[in-house]
Structure 1
Amino acid sequence: MYILTIGSHSSLQILHGAKKEGFRTVLVTPEKRVKFYTQFAFIDEVYGYKNEDEAVEYINSFANNGILIPHGSLVEYIGPERVNKIKTKIFGNRNLFEWEANQKKKMSLLKNAKIKIPEQFENPEDIDRLVIVKLPGAKGGRGYFIARNKNEAKEGLNKLLEQKMIRSIDEVIIQEYVVGVPMYFQFFYSIILNRLEIIGIDIRYETNIDGLRRLPPDIKVDPTLVVIGNIPAVARESLLPTVYEYGENFVNTVKELVPPGMIGPFCLESVVTDQGDIVVFEFSGRIVAGTNLYVNGSPYSWLYWDEPMSAGRRIGREIKLAINSNKLDQVLT
């Protein structure tokens, strides 16, 4: 059995974990990245593609003996129409891609899960507080902006339209900007073991907003929120029961609204306020890049497995458990 993934995001961790679990590993990447990836011995084959159609054709050559592991760059790189043409089975629920790409559907799912979310504004004219405006898809924060009032929000939206980053303002979501500590709670839902695991926490490091603190106060620069890295975090233990409850609510709601339900890794991207409230402003329905911090296991994954267990290896372990129990079809779509 081959484990495949696209060369970006968390591909090194995914294939490293797959190799640890005894699988053959294949990386599919743009030609310009082949040299970089061929240096890693745990990748058995690196395929460099010239265009995205060629990538899909190659992935489909593993339809009978391969499993594709999705991450945040799959839809962004290959494109939603091409992803729909992939015949090779995908680990996880591919039906979640559509929900994750649509900010409004994403927030409606969280609301249905009875998870605390920020106030949302459908009309820029209704803005009466600090807000953040977000674009659809897994863009790593590119194009996001903060506005102090409705005039700044409308000005920023017009810029997005002029730059053709969006076709209409209906594509964006306008949320209250919740002040607190950003904490991204990483989970893994195992169908095979019938349990939910907290597998890590990270904080995103964003440019240029996280660099502005180094500037003198008299220098004014508009903040941007492009993710360029991740920082490890551990939460106060008293927060974890609520975190876990949110994770369970999410799993139950996905099962109800997006069949066949949650499979494998996901992330609830949150802000923790000074009152200890956990406000979830987004979710990712697959492995997130913040798990790259824990290639040797996180403080939480150790508590479940008592061995090094990255999210990538956890995917490989789930597939192996599924194969051994004749339940592989339950973790693939």
Structure 2
Amino acid sequence: MGTTVATYASHSALQILHGAKGEGFQTIAFGKARVRPLYTKYFPVADTFIESDYPEDELLERNAIIIPTGSFVAHLGVELVEKMKVPYYGNKAVLRWESDRTLERKWLEKAKLRLPMIYRDPDEIDGPVIVKPHGARGGRGYFLARSPADFWEKAGRLGIRDKEDLSEVQIQEYVVGVPVYPHYFYSKLNRELELMSVDRRYESNADAIGRIPAGEQLGLGLGTNYTVVGNIPLVLRESLLMDVIEAGERVVKVAEELMGGLWGPFCLEGVFTEELEFVVFEISARIVAGTNPFVHGSPYTWLRYDEPVSTGRRIAMELRQALEEERLGEILT
């Protein structure tokens, strides 16, 4: 039986499976019964759909390789993903560093990226901050605060009542700038970094509030929420491209020292300030949903490949190369 590409039916599964089929792989989607038609009828990218949250035995029988997504990791949890027996594309050791904001910051600081200041004590807040729970949540649970009193009032909605609960969140300086999410692919086989695409997110209700006049916003007493509902393609000024490429190169280099490497797709999430400084506030060490607008490729992949290459297809291209060169073990954990 040949190698099969499998992924959880959510997040960026359509793109992953479409790219795998483009490279000649059999494909499996697994997940909730309700979404089966999405992957088999409306967008027929899954050769097989399994109604299960994680059908380990069946995936092993079908010689499957799991392509992780944010939904897959968030749904199963880091501990289960670390223990699963099905071959996994990427380095599982990265998951701990990505899901713990303290470890994540150590990684990004060592890569010498410009990061927002962190407040250890909410009573020291002296300007706008954004408060983020740990782990991949698609922006859910994030909130803005401008003072200690404002923090404690809003934190109570998340069940944070005193300083002993602060281990559940990170309090970051809110840096004013244009949100920018560059998507990368690092080929472990070729030892090359590629810039795949760039997006910005459409978040509810942070973006929707801007459609309400300021005077009415105040009267409504709306709280800001950053749950991602969609992604918008973005093409950066050409003069900024080396800034994001060099940031990606440094992150990959430090990952080799800290956890044995980062390979495959990842994303640095940040903003460009009015001084055109790239400030990074976190990393997603896997494919992100912001790559979904680029199923037919992006300006950057067209420039490199001169044909449509999505991030999903680039993963499949790496798997195909590994099979042909008998190096599959180098890129799976």
Report the TM-score range of the alignment, normalised by the length of the smaller protein.
over 0.9
Q: Displaced runs of 4+ in structure 1, greater than 3 A?
A: 54-62
Post-superposition CA distance 1:234-272 (Å, at most 9, x none): 11111111111101100001111011x011100000100
The question of 1:121 aligning with 2:119 is answered: yes
User: Which residue matches 1:191?
Assistant: 188
User: Which residue matches 1:179?
Assistant: 176
Post-superposition CA distance 1:120-145 (Å, at most 9, x none): 11111221111000011111111100
Letter in 1 for 2:108: L
Identity %: 44
User: Which residue matches 1:205?
Assistant: 202
Distance in structure 1 (CA, Å) of the matches to 2:304 and 2:327 = 22
Provide TM-score, normalisation by structure 2. 0.94
Distance in structure 2 (CA, Å) of the matches to 1:240 and 1:35 = 39
Of 138, 141, 152, 1:140 maps to 138
User: Which residue matches 1:45?
Assistant: 48
Distance in structure 2 (CA, Å) of the matches to 1:216 and 1:48 = 46
Distance in structure 2 (CA, Å) of the matches to 1:154 and 1:102 = 22
Post-superposition CA distance 1:191-245 (Å, at most 9, x none): 1222110000000100001011111322231111110000000111111111111
Distance in structure 2 (CA, Å) of the matches to 1:258 and 1:82 = 19
How does 1:256-295 map onto structure 2 within 5 Å?
256-259=257-260, 261-295=261-295
CA drift of 1:60 comes to 4.1
Unaligned runs of 5+ in 2: none
Distance in structure 2 (CA, Å) of the matches to 1:109 and 1:171 = 19
The question of 1:309 aligning with 2:312 is answered: no
SS in 1 for 2:214: coil
Unaligned runs of 5+ in 1: none
CA drift of 1:158 comes to 2.2
User: Over aligned residue pairs, what C-alpha RMSD do you find?
Assistant: 1.6
The question of 1:240 aligning with 2:238 is answered: no
Letter in 2 for 1:29: G
Decide whether the 8 Å contact of 1:60 with 1:86 is kept in 2: no
Count how many residue pairs are aligned between Structure 1 and Structure 2: 325
SS in 1 for 2:131: strand
User: Which residue matches 2:300?
Assistant: 300
Of 74, 77, 95, 1:76 maps to 74
Decide whether the 8 Å contact of 1:133 with 1:175 is kept in 2: yes
